Amino acid sequence: NILKAILFILPTNFAEAAIPMAAVALDLPELPMLPVHILWVNMVTAVTLAISLAFESPEEAVMKRPPRSPDEPILTPFLLWRIAFVGIFMTIACLYLFEQLRGKLLTIEAARTTTTNLLVMGETFYLLNARQLTAFALHPKYLWANPYSWLSIGVLLMLQIAFTYASPLQALLSTAPISFKEWGEILLWGFILFCIVEVEKYFWRNLIVANLIKS
């Protein structure tokens, strides 16, 4: 579960740092997210999604894995690969959507609100991936095994609705209401991330099985 938490937190933190850095490097006229938005994302996801991973049950094949070497670092090549490609995908998706919305002449507040919600929803979809290191996330045995993960998702969704539509938070965080169309784009990108990670896990499962057969 410690590995799962690391595998969840680091890619999302990677994206949170990379989005403003990439915007500056690309000389974008406006930042896709303000510092207060990144602070908000860190605060709400840390106390909801990340904590729920502590209650995950062991994976079915955990006792079939070879013993872990005491000299093996926590950040193995597998973890580094997952952290890099998920973080880069989230960064590219947020920057792309932000530029698309700015091209459609949405207000800067609405574009930033959509981008922030995309990052949060991307983390939400990725939580479903991260609950199992290599097993299929939607397997019924795992999908409902940890009710705290679904509770954390529900709480996070309510927080994001308040972030987007509550007038006091709009004034405090410089957000603006967005339409169902923007929500549709957010959910689409989140679903794409989920599918890509599940495909990657499929190849890792085959690799693990092949190694077990050889041994």
Assign 3-class secondary structure to the chain.
CHHHHHHHHHHHHHHHHHHHHHHHHCCCCCCCCCHHHHHHHHHHHHHHHHHHHHHCCCCCCHHHCCCCCCCCCCCCHHHHHHHHHHHHHHHHHHHHHHHHHHHCCCCHHHHHHHHHHHHHHHHHHHHHHHCCCCCCCCCHHHHCCCHHHHHHHHHHHHHHHHHHHCHHHHHHHCCCCCCHHHHHHHHHHHHHHHHHHHHHHHHHHHHHHHHHHHC
pLDDT digit string, tens, across residues 177-207: 999 999 999 999 999 999 999 999 888 877 7
Round to whole Å and give the CA distance between 131 and 198.
Answer: 12
Smallest CA-to-CA distance from 79 within 162, 5, 140, 174 is with 5
In percent, how much of the chain has pLDDT > 70? 91
pLDDT digit string, tens, across residues 139-173: 888 888 899 999 999 999 999 999 999 999 999 99
- pLDDT attached to residue 210: 47
Instruction: Reply yes or no on whether the pLDDT at 2 is more than 90.
Output: no
